[in-house]
Amino acid sequence: FFLFPFLTFLSFNRFVTTSNEEARTKKNYAFYVECLDDLPPDIHESLERMRIPAKHLEKHFELLLNILSFADKHIPRRRFVTHAQLEKIRKQRQAPMPNLTDRVLLPTSEAYETVNFSEARAMYKWDVYLGHGGFGQVVEAKSKMKKDPHYGTRFALKFQKNETERAKRMNIEEVSLLKFCDHPNIVRLYRALEVRTEVWMVMELMRGGNLKQASTNKVVPFSESEIAYVAAETLKGLDYLHKQQIAHRDLKNLNIMLSVKGEVKIIDFGLAVDMSTGPRIQMVGSPLWMAPEMIRGEPHSYGVDVWSFIVCMLELANQKPPNVSNIKRAMFLSATIGMSENKFVDPGRWSKDFSEFISKGGTMRQEERPTAGELLQHRFIASACPVKMIKKKLEGVFLVDALSERGIVG
């Protein structure tokens, strides 16, 4: 097999040989490998940090390659494949499935209102900067249009880049999905504007923060009844999505929003798919929250959201996601053994009902994993605290966060 620094470069239509120096000019490239010895030195160093015996890595070699390819931070991105895997990839590419079908996907004319920049600026007054990501940025804004039924209302105004074909596809899919959904546990989209080379999404503003901010707050950790409240509200949103034949596929701590009013809402539908055409195989999402079947490259369905949800609830209990110190190790263990038997940092703090709830939802075999609707019927959910209690908790959580940012509390 091919040894570094000379490797086989794979375009999926043709094969050429290239050096590492030449390969750096390529956006993505892939290499045939059939055993651990074929992998490059930097990958071997990464494998040592995973602290998993070589015999286990060899036993699950194709799985390991899936993980290495997904989590590779090398620029340009590398993909390591066996000959057998390449054949599977070719077949999948010959019959690609669209993320959304026509029952959900809107034509551009229905998804967006096309306006020029000065018109768009006249519609909303921008106030507070809220954050940013790979998509662009988010600001708090207020409607300035007196004829607007939402005149004076404050929104989260999200700016999405809309220049490349990929960005255009992802934007119209997300806008279509949000317009398709109507549920109190799904963030609301009021309108979408096409402005120059951007899409401006006028969204519901939530005073509070995300589950990551809530879970890492050491001053006011969550009690079991408070976790049950967040679990119930999140499951209601998931149950609604799944009944609409939509899988989110990127449920994680950043995509569950909590407000000081006690609201819990699912956000960010950039990777969501219409499941009405059947299971998917694509490996997408965030590594620490990814379900075993997706990591293994198997057909997946709504169960991936249930697994991710359980990881989020464990994060609220433990104040961190499982195996957060090594992403590749976390993915390998999830795909081969599932969730650890020692799920809780402090097991004595939690009830039998909560432990059973986590174990059931975190079942490794997707066909045995309960649905969101079934988990809503579990005894643990009945222990949820009243809304006034969660309001008080979230006011405390996000006040402490705000004071910490200003250096007032440590």
- What single-letter amino acid sits at 180? F
**Residue 261: count of CB within 10 angstroms of its CB:** 13
pTM: predicted TM-score of the whole model, two decimal places: 0.88
Six-digit token string for 171: 């934007």
CA angle 297, 299, 303 (to 5 degrees): 105
Say which residue the tokens 């174990």 belong to.
Answer: 359
Q: Give strand ranges (E) for 55-123.
A: 77-81, 113-114
The pair of three-digit structure tokens given for residue 369, joined into one six-digit string: 């994993």
Q: Residue 74 has what pLDDT?
A: 67
Cα distance from N-terminal residue to C-terminal residue, the chain: 55
Amino acid at 141: A
- The pLDDT score that the predictor gives to residue 118 is 95
| pLDDT computed for residue 287 by the predictor | 94
Judge if 108-204 and 208-404 fold alike in CATH terms: no
CATH no. for 208-404: 1.10.510.10
Whether omega for the bond prior to residue 5 falls within 30 degrees of 0, making it cis, is yes
Q: Could you say which DSSP state residue 228 is in?
A: H
pLDDT at 14: 32
Give the number of other Cβ atoms within 10 Å of residue 241's Cβ. Answer: 25
The answer to whether residue 38 is catalytic is no
CA 339/CA 362 separation, integer angstroms: 7
State how beta strands 6-10 and 154-161 pair: unpaired
DSSP state of 300: B
Q: Is the peptide bond prior to 96 cis by the omega test (within 30 degrees of 0)? A: no
pLDDT value of residue 23: 38
Question: What is the C-alpha separation between 232 and 226, in angstroms, rounded?
Answer: 10
| Residue 84 confidence (pLDDT) | 86
17: left (phi over 0), alpha (psi -120 to 50) or beta: beta
Domain borders along the chain are 6-94, 108-204, 208-404
Question: What is the model's pLDDT at position 147?
Answer: 86
* Residue of 250, 268, 274, 401 marked catalytic: 250
Task: Give the alpha-carbon dihedral of 384, 390, 394, 395, to 10 degrees.
Answer: -170
pLDDT at 126: 92
Handedness of CA 128, 132, 135, 136 (dihedral sign): positive
According to DSSP, the residues that pair with 30 across neighbouring strands are: 79
Is it true that domain 108-204 has CATH number 3.30.200.20? yes
What pLDDT does residue 9 have?
40
| 158 is an annotated ligand-binding site residue | yes
Instruction: Specify the pLDDT at position 27.
Output: 58
- Identity of the amino acid at 289: W
As a whole number of angstroms, the distance between CA 189 and CA 179 comes to 7
Separation between Cα atoms, residue 85 and residue 62, nearest integer Å: 8
**Residue 12: its pLDDT value, please?**
35
* pLDDT values of the chain reduced to their tens digit, one per residue, 410 residues: 333 333 344 433 333 333 333 434 445 677 889 999 999 999 999 999 999 999 999 999 999 999 999 987 766 778 889 988 888 777 777 667 889 999 999 999 999 999 999 999 999 999 888 887 666 799 999 999 888 888 889 999 999 999 999 999 999 999 999 999 999 999 999 999 999 999 999 999 999 999 999 998 877 789 999 999 999 999 999 999 999 999 999 999 999 999 999 999 999 999 999 999 999 988 999 999 999 999 999 999 999 999 999 999 999 999 988 878 899 999 999 999 999 888 999 999 999 999 999 999 999 999 999 999 999 999 999 999 999 999 999 998 887 544 444 444 44
In sequence order, which residues have a C-beta less than 8 Å from that of residue 177 and are 6 or more positions away?
100, 104, 246, 269, 272
Residue with tokens 């966060």: 401
Q: How many residues does the chain have?
A: 410
| Secondary structure (DSSP) of 328-378 | HHHHHHHHHT-S-S---SSGGGS-HHHHHHHHHHT-SSGGGSPPHHHHHTS
Number of continuous H segments (helices) and E segments (strands) in the chain:
16, 15
